[in-house]
Amino acid sequence: MTLPFVSDFLLWCLLLNYAVLLVWAGVFIFAHDWMYAIHSRWFRIAPDRYDMMHFGALAVYKTGVLLFVLVPWIALQIVR
């Protein structure tokens, strides 16, 4: 594998992961009641706890993308 290939790969991973984040956040914001209705059928959970869990999961996912995709991509850009 060459550095340009890995760099391009990480850039595409970054774009796709941010697309997932945007879709997830968009559905959570604009279809919150629908999502909660679906999940509350399966699990007994209060709405405030449901919101807290989604917000935490979004934060962990975003942090993972930043640490494992964006930072290596920036490092490769510096090395190139």
pLDDT in tens, 51-67: 999 999 999 999 999 99
CB atoms within 10 A of CB 69: 20
80 pLDDT more than 90: no
| Average pLDDT rounded to a whole number, residues 11-21 | 98
Q: What are the structure tokens assigned to 19, written together?
A: 């697309």
Q: What is the pTM of this model?
A: 0.88
The pLDDT of residue 18: 97
pLDDT digits (tens, 9 = 90+) for 23-49: 999 999 999 999 999 999 999 999 999
Rounded distance, CA 61 to CA 68, Å? 10
At which residue do the structure tokens 């060459």 appear? 2
Residue in the block written with tokens 């890995």: 6
14 contacts 70 by C-beta, under 8 angstroms: yes
Query: What is the three-class DSSP state of 32?
Result: helix
